[in-house]
Structure 1
Amino acid sequence: MSTTIAILEESGESGFRIESLMERTGISKSSLYMAFGSRDGLIAAARARQFEVMIQESIGPIRMIAEQASSRDELRNNLSLITNFVADLSRTAQRVERCAIIAGTKGRPEFSKWLAETQTRLSTEFAEIIGGAQARGFITRKHPARMIANFIQATTLGRVIVGFDLDAGPDELAQWTALANDIYDQMLFVD
């Protein structure tokens, strides 16, 4: 799978050739087709894995701060730091790749199904983190955990737009982080 992902990152889906994968790995075409059904199935599996890794990079730190927090204030302060990290424009290429993966589901029902299953699993994991913080009294229960998780993911992915704003300004990250933290404060910490 890692070689498939590497080739996709180098060449994109249109440049992906089964023959290149066979040369690099020594795996036979029949084995690939037996495992994944088709070229599209192989690409779908690789893209779903890429997608999962991208989201886990954001969810992992959130899990850590939510589980290690000993108070609502500690969670709130640490969430501000995570927001700044996740929003950094150096992550624009990753967001663009995530959008490309989502766009790649158009007209590909098998791929769409794989990606939906991956996203659902990750959203459930994120919602469980939020739910755990709610159970500890650190996050308000006025919004369902899954809606909070989905809102945060949508906001994070939406940062892709700012990566293409030539007039964003040098203090854009600080402004964005302040705005996001104000929204998160109201959503998560005000009863």
Structure 2
Amino acid sequence: MGRRQTLRARHGGYVRRTHAGKPGKPGAPGRVLARDLGWRREARSAWWCGLGLGGALLLADVARGSVNWPRGGCWTVIAMTLVAVLWPPYVTAGENWLAVRGLLRERRVRTDLLTRVRRSDGMSPRLVLRDVAGNRVEFDPKVLTANPLLWHHLDRGVRRARESGLLREGAMPLGALADRIDSEGARRLLRSAGLE
């Protein structure tokens, strides 16, 4: 019996994919209990940046008197490309799952069946989660800092995965993130009480 069959047997078959391609019990859609509250603001900013760049390029062409359909189409494509590059992923969570929806598709992991958590540091830091079914999500850890309810749902699932012995890699990035979220929360409480 292979590792994946053993995990399926141990967890009652929860690793199966549903007909929609999402991990979890077949037919259980999973209610959204937490979401990224700053996403709308960031999405609006992406649109405004794209519109601003496209408008500036078009106005420059109008001022020079060289505007035509192909050039206008080119500026529109450049503006839409900027919107696509700046478009923020939308992070939601529920009971034992976390989803990240990009511009074209949504990826989802079972947080209670996580096998690996790592932090990827680069120009923008990313938190990468992988579950036993091979599903993977990647997002900015600042989303968890700004949305304690999202962190709560992820943390509960991570604890279950750790207790079942599935999660063996990822204690350090999660510990550092938990400390950061706790200190941010304490700072917010002090600020709201007028003690900071």
Q: TM range, normalised to the smaller chain?
A: under 0.3
| Higher relative contact order structure (alpha carbons within 8 Å, sequence separation ≥ 6) | 1
Q: Give the TM-score normalised by structure 2.
A: 0.25
Q: Which has the higher helix share?
A: 1
